[in-house]
């Protein structure tokens, strides 16, 4: 119900000003919070990486305390070590953290340590339809929802407006077109057509684009019986097509073999590549302080499809959930409702007063389409939303981290050394089969 309401900040300010917040009636509590401060005096400790969005939330924690009496504490953990830290906490059965966040593909393996939220969601009437389907899926394992999306990513294709214009081509809408555009730009301007990331990096980055191609070619990772299927004919074709910009067409920036996600974005930002497919966080990087590009040089479209009806594109989210060992699970739920609220994210995404808390990311359908949000961020959300509605999650498997390691290594090896795609995928399939056999879901 809360999601259907318009921006709350003004109402909230008024409530606070007149000192009514504490005694407000249920329907007057903003962000769907419980009235009467039932958790007054409790502390909720949150483990999260440092990001503009969270720093913006941190600035607003006092407001949360006014409303609920709950002290929320942000413990920032380096992004690359987030999983290490959660793992250690979970193994030791520690009750230090009430709320944690994770990259969605870790969800299945962490699901044993997280409280299922279905009952709480039903009780507080939270409408999951307010999120693009892909984000809800990414916070669900075996029909149990274990988190609410707060931070999420949509895939976009960023391109150099000036270079494409110079080459007389339009931004591509299919992957085949993308190769053509890359060729045209590279021939005309001498700048590499597209920056790819075939290297090994944090969180199996090179698999996001690869999975795009797999979806586009209708290739399955595992078939309906859970048997390994990625070395099928379609899988080989998809993988070949994924590697083609580098190996066949030579339109990928030469560094692509070594690049991980951050590098490929920098390659475009430094003027060395004309296009890059990446999450929408790429936008502030490409137009930001480390970039040599001006905002008017950077265009973006939804990630190209494959000219058929298959769902293309990957959505990725960082849900927040409650640790089973949390000291204050009920209070944590209040904080989580606040963090995941559409009003809050809109407030943050439209606040451009402080570069330190500048943020483009929103996750609710209403926010993604919100004119004010889009106006403040050059319409990145709208285009991202277009992609998200046809996007899928990465495979939600407990064994995914292990399977992904094998696939990631196979891809980086193929990119570095060439070699026969079918043979390499067969070898990977044998390894994955052993993993799947040993660890039934």
Q: x-or-dash pattern for another protein, window 243-282, by CB under 8 A?
A: ----------xxx-xxx-xxx-xxx-xx-x--------x-
428 vs 181: CA distance, rounded Å: 32
* 255 vs 315, beta carbon nearer another protein: 255
Q: x-or-dash pattern for another protein, window 354-393, by CB under 8 A?
A: --x-------------------------------------
Q: Tell me: does residue 81 bind another protein (CB under 8 A).
A: yes
Enumerate residues 279-298 that contact another protein by CB under 8 A.
281, 284-285, 288-292
- Please report how close the Cβ of residue 78 comes to another protein at its closest, in angstroms: 4
Element containing residue 156 per DSSP (H, E)? strand 148-160
DSSP codes of every residue in 74-102: EEE--GGGHHHHHHHHHHTT--S-SEEE-
Q: What is the C-alpha end-to-end distance of the chain, expressed in Å?
A: 36
Enumerate residues 93-112 that contact another protein by CB under 8 A.
93-94, 96, 108-109, 112
Q: Tell me: does residue 61 bind another protein (CB under 8 A).
A: no
Element containing residue 157 per DSSP (H, E)? strand 148-160
2 vs 15: CA distance, rounded Å: 17
Count of positions on this chain that bind another protein (CB under 8 A)? 72
Looking at 158-166, 235-243, 337-345, 395-403, which segment touches another protein (CB under 8 A)? Answer: 395-403
Q: Tell me: does residue 38 bind another protein (CB under 8 A).
A: no
Q: Report the DSSP beta bridge partners of residue 318.
A: 151
The torsion of the CA quartet 334, 139, 202, 400, rounded to 10 degrees, works out to 140
* 28 vs 84, beta carbon nearer another protein: 84
How many angstroms separate the Cα of 270 from the Cα of each of 273, 292, 386? Answer: 8, 5, 28
* Residues 290 and 209: beta-carbon distance below 8 Å: no
The conformation of residue 441, written as its DSSP 8-state character, comes to -
Pick from 182, 340, 415, 429: which binds another protein (CB under 8 A)?
Answer: 415
Enumerate residues 115-174 that contact another protein by CB under 8 A.
none
Q: Give the pair of three-digit tokens for residue 377.
A: 């961020």
70 vs 62: CA distance, rounded Å: 9
Q: Give the pair of three-digit tokens for residue 326.
A: 């949390």
* 79 vs 327, beta carbon nearer another protein: 79
* 366 vs 410, beta carbon nearer another protein: 410
Enumerate residues 193-232 that contact another protein by CB under 8 A.
198-202
Pick from 7, 177, 402, 422: which binds another protein (CB under 8 A)?
Answer: 402
Tell me the Cα Rg of the chain.
Answer: 22
For residue 243, how many other CB atoms are within 10 A of its CB?
20
26 vs 363: CA distance, rounded Å: 25
- Please report how close the Cβ of residue 88 comes to another protein at its closest, in angstroms: 5
- Please report how close the Cβ of residue 198 comes to another protein at its closest, in angstroms: 8
Pick from 31, 39, 102, 113: which binds another protein (CB under 8 A)?
Answer: 113
- Please report how close the Cβ of residue 159 comes to another protein at its closest, in angstroms: 18
* 24 vs 61, beta carbon nearer another protein: 61
For residue 62, how many other CB atoms are within 10 A of its CB?
11
- Please report how close the Cβ of residue 275 comes to another protein at its closest, in angstroms: 15
- Please report how close the Cβ of residue 402 comes to another protein at its closest, in angstroms: 4
């Amino acid at each position: 119900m809360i999601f259907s309401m318009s921006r709350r900040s003004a109402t909230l300010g008024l409530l606070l000003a007149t000192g009514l917040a504490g005694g407000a009636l249920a329907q007057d509590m903003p962000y769907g919070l419980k009235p009467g401060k039932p958790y007054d005096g409790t502390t909720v400790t949150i483990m999260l990486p440092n990001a503009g969005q969270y720093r913006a939330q941190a600035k607003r924690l006092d407001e949360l305390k006014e409303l609920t009496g709950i002290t929320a504490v942000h413990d920032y953990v380096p992004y690359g070590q987030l999983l290490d830290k959660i793992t250690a906490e979970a193994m030791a059965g520690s009750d230090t953290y009430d709320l944690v966040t994770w990259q969605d593909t870790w969800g299945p393996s962490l699901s044993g340590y997280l409280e299922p939220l279905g009952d709480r969601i039903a009780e507080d009437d939270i409408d999951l339809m307010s999120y693009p389907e892909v984000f809800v899926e990414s916070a669900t394992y075996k029909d149990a929802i274990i988190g609410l999306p707060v931070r999420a990513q949509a895939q976009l294709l960023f391109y150099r407006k000036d270079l494409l214009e110079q080459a007389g081509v339009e931004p591509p809408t299919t992957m085949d077109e993308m190769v053509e555009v890359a060729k045209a730009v590279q021939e005309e301007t001498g700048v590499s057509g597209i920056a790819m990331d075939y290297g090994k990096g944090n969180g199996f980055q090179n698999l996001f684009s690869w999975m795009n191609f797999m979806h586009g070619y209708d290739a399955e990772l595992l078939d309906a019986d859970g048997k390994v299927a990625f070395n099928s004919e379609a899988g080989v074709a998809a993988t070949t097509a994924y590697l083609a910009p580098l190996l066949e067409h030579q339109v990928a920036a030469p560094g692509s073999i070594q690049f991980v996600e951050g590098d490929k974005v920098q390659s475009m930002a430094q003027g060395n590549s004309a296009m890059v497919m990446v999450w929408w966080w790429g936008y502030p990087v490409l137009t930001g302080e480390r970039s040599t590009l001006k905002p008017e040089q950077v265009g973006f479209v939804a990630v190209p499809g494959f000219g058929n009806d298959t769902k293309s594109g990957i959505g990725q989210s960082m849900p927040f959930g409650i640790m089973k060992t949390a000291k204050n699970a009920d209070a944590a739920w209040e904080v989580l409702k606040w963090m995941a609220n559409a009003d809050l994210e809109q407030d943050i995404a439209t606040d451009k007063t402080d570069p330190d808390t500048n943020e483009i990311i929103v996750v609710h359908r209403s926010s993604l389409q919100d004119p004010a949000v889009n106006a403040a961020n050059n319409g990145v959300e709208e285009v991202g939303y277009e992609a998200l509605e046809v996007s899928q999650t990465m495979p939600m498997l407990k064994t995914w981290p292990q399977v992904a390691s094998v696939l990631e290594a196979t891809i980086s090896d193929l990119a570095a050394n060439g070699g026969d795609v079918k043979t390499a995928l067969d070898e990977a399939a044998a390894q994955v089969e052993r993993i799947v056999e040993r660890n039934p879901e």
